[in-house]
Amino acid sequence: MIIKRKVTQDIEINSTIVCDLCGAEYSYDAGWDQMEAQEFVSIRHKGGFSSIFGDTFAGNPMGFVDVDICQKCFKEHIVDKMGLYKKDKE
């Protein structure tokens, strides 16, 4: 038999996300802001051997890429400029 007990823990949760391009802030706790926060594009990348960002395995803290982009900036700066969005799918 397994006997369980209840515990209370303090944990960190996301409360706000900020776009690294335009600086817009959205709360995870507020109505419409919550919808915008869910649409962010987040990139977490660790550079490896011969990476232009630096080799994180060699202890280089500059080898980490950590970026959060709101959906408006992602569309404007990435999708539209690269021609990735097509209104009419063929």
Q: What is the per-residue pLDDT across 26-78, written as a single tens digit (0 to 9) for each?
A: 998 878 888 999 999 999 888 777 777 777 665 556 678 889 999 999 999 98
Is residue 33 one of the residues assigned to a domain?
yes
- Whether 76 is covered by a domain: the verdict is yes
Residue by residue, what is the 3-state secondary structure of the chain? CCCCCCCCCCCCCCCEEECCCCCCEEECCCHHHHHHHHCCEEEEEECCCCCCCCCHHHCCHHHEEEEEECHHHHHHHHHHHHCCCCCCCC
How many domains are contained in the chain?
1
Any domain includes 40? yes
Q: How confident is the model at residue 89 (pLDDT cuts 50, 70, 90)?
A: low
Could you give the C-alpha distances from 42 to 38, 45, 58, 71, 79, in angstroms and in order? 10, 10, 24, 10, 15
Residue 29 covered by a domain: yes
Q: By residue range, what is the domain housing residue 62? A: 18-82
pTM higher than 0.75, yes or no?
no
Residue 47 domain-assigned (yes or no)? yes
Is 39 a domain residue?
Answer: yes
Residue 79 has what pLDDT? 87
Q: Is residue 23 one of the residues assigned to a domain?
A: yes
Please tell me the predicted confidence (pLDDT) of residue 53.
Answer: 74
Within a domain: 64 = yes
